[in-house]
Structure 1
């Protein structure tokens, strides 16, 4: 049976998450063009059928949707509005999915600037990690006009079977993601602390984690990260710097809303400490390494 025609998609940023999304779309028959400063990742996707583009503007040329999957607001700004940025070629009728975890006000600013030239933005943060992005089971938090989300429903369905429509206001996806990631950070710090304590008490870490996984202390991120950490696998699926950034942004959003909770700042301080201790480019499960160390007297 002949596959239905699918509109071309561009993806700028094909790291762990963007690369997994690109591979999934290629496997499903979508025409995909990719751009990234990491040429090795680009070449791997080229072998799977992606078209390689060398600038964001080239990647945005001729596509129906441009997916931006970089790390932070300065990178988004460069991708969209820097030299050879995508905004120089984007036109009415093309849409942009903004997937990074960034400050809500930055999402609002980017969306407003693109709307001036008739380009609609779907604020679309992701959660779940590369494996879930690859198999389509990651979460997508969508904020944007109903018309543009409906227009791209086939692409969205190809990317995720866990889609949450937050509101029509770009920026609310970012707010939702920060709330989620603040809790993820708190849970991960708690899991690392618990396993480090178990080891100090003479308990077997793997057995303790298995017990927690079937008990009231379970969290998905704790089980996922601590399983790898106990095995000594600290290769980054999610760099320590990401939750340091995300918890910091969540605290900034909380302060702007006049809210102060008891745990967020403490969790952020642990991620900041881990980065300062040389673990910035390790998997965020390397918190276990940090908390295994005896306190400095």
Structure 2
């Protein structure tokens, strides 16, 4: 059991941040949480979390300050806004950046934090809320070796799959974008073939049974399409998240002078589904979009 004197502040208590907070609370950590949605904070208070009205109210003796919001704009506000963490951060403090954002944004944030003596751990997450809640999600970590050593206890507490990417903040984001581009390609592909199976008169569930035990299997295909077959589109990860992530991955690819045959088309499908009115649904709704074309 982790001593309760260890405090961690989590800014952003949505699907992933909230699940991470619940997991740490169950291990005995003292967890402070802040979110623009009071109901999310209230739910974690019932589990023992301490509520923050603003990021700047985080305890100065926190082990680390975990930013778990959606995008770069929200990250900038959490860090450097009027009520942001930078107002109370001291030299030697550490910020974990967990959102999926552009590598250049991570580098920019790390540079700004370094200017006030604050360390950055580039630590995007993967695996979804259920895995964040049970501690089996993946973390792709890039930071200086001494910072990694100092934060090993926390990193291992939140994830059983900590991947040490490099010493350079930004490389975690690069790895996450590569992963999520493949996730997007796999999801669009799985939804396409299942929509085709139905059009051919096949039973979608039985077809997926075969795929899961054959060469076409993918984790995201099984996870999302089981829900899609059941008509369950309640958002765990909105369509807009993979729309954003695949777009960022393509921007990183362009900057590196690389162009592949599949990523751009998969990204376009997410954008089309958004425009078709599915933005607030789970990304399993890619199946619904393709099946209704």
Q: Hey, what does 1:135 align to over in structure 2?
A: 134
1:83 aligns with 2:82: yes
Runs of 4+ in 1 over 6 A off after TM superposition: none
1:140-155 equivalence runs, <5 A? 140-155=139-154
Q: Residue 99 of structure 2 aligns to a residue in which SS?
A: coil
1:200 aligns with 2:199: yes
Cα distance, 1:110 vs structure 2: 0.3
CA distance in structure 2 between the aligned counterparts of 1:53 and 1:93, rounded to whole angstroms: 22
Q: Is the 8 A contact 1:60 1:90 kept in 2?
A: no
Cα distance, 1:62 vs structure 2: 3.5
Cα distance, 1:94 vs structure 2: 1.5
Gap change, CA 1:3 and 1:136, over 3 Å in 2: closer
Q: Residue 78 of structure 1 aligns to a residue in which SS?
A: helix
Q: Residue 187 of structure 1 aligns to a residue in which SS?
A: helix
Cα distance, 1:145 vs structure 2: 0.5
1:291 aligns with 2:290: yes
Gap change, CA 1:97 and 1:60, over 3 Å in 2: farther
CA distance in structure 2 between the aligned counterparts of 1:286 and 1:59, rounded to whole angstroms: 37
Q: Is the 8 A contact 1:123 1:142 kept in 2?
A: yes
CA distance in structure 2 between the aligned counterparts of 1:41 and 1:204, rounded to whole angstroms: 39
Residue by residue over 1:22-76, the C-alpha shift from the partner in whole angstroms, topping out at 9 and shown as x without a partner, is 0000000000000001111100000100000010111354412000000000000
Q: Hey, what does 1:276 align to over in structure 2?
A: 275
Instruction: Give the TM-score taking structure 2 as reference length.
Output: 0.98
Q: Hey, what does 1:66 align to over in structure 2?
A: 65
Q: Hey, what does 1:264 align to over in structure 2?
A: 263
CA distance in structure 2 between the aligned counterparts of 1:3 and 1:159, rounded to whole angstroms: 12
Q: Residue 33 of structure 2 aligns to a residue in which SS?
A: strand
Residue by residue over 1:110-138, the C-alpha shift from the partner in whole angstroms, topping out at 9 and shown as x without a partner, is 00110111110000000000000000110
Cα distance, 1:92 vs structure 2: 1.5
CA distance in structure 2 between the aligned counterparts of 1:152 and 1:218, rounded to whole angstroms: 36
Structure 2, gaps ≥5 residues long: none
Q: Residue 244 of structure 1 aligns to a residue in which SS?
A: helix
Q: Hey, what does 2:30 align to over in structure 1?
A: 31
Q: Hey, what does 1:237 align to over in structure 2?
A: 236
Q: Is the 8 A contact 1:236 1:283 kept in 2?
A: yes
CA distance in structure 2 between the aligned counterparts of 1:185 and 1:60, rounded to whole angstroms: 38
CA distance in structure 2 between the aligned counterparts of 1:60 and 1:74, rounded to whole angstroms: 24
Q: Is the 8 A contact 1:60 1:66 kept in 2?
A: no
Q: Hey, what does 1:178 align to over in structure 2?
A: 177
Cα distance, 1:3 vs structure 2: 5.2
Q: Hey, what does 1:214 align to over in structure 2?
A: 213
CA distance in structure 2 between the aligned counterparts of 1:60 and 1:80, rounded to whole angstroms: 15
1:189 aligns with 2:188: yes
Q: Hey, what does 2:120 align to over in structure 1?
A: 121
Q: Hey, what does 2:91 align to over in structure 1?
A: 92
CA distance in structure 2 between the aligned counterparts of 1:106 and 1:239, rounded to whole angstroms: 22
Cα distance, 1:207 vs structure 2: 0.6
Instruction: Give the TM-score taking structure 1 as reference length.
Output: 0.97
CA distance in structure 1 between the aligned counterparts of 2:150 and 2:39, rounded to whole angstroms: 33
Q: Is the 8 A contact 2:141 2:172 kept in 1?
A: yes
Count of paired positions: 293
Cα distance, 1:88 vs structure 2: 1.1
CA distance in structure 2 between the aligned counterparts of 1:158 and 1:62, rounded to whole angstroms: 18
Q: Is the 8 A contact 2:140 2:162 kept in 1?
A: yes
Q: Is the 8 A contact 2:3 2:29 kept in 1?
A: no
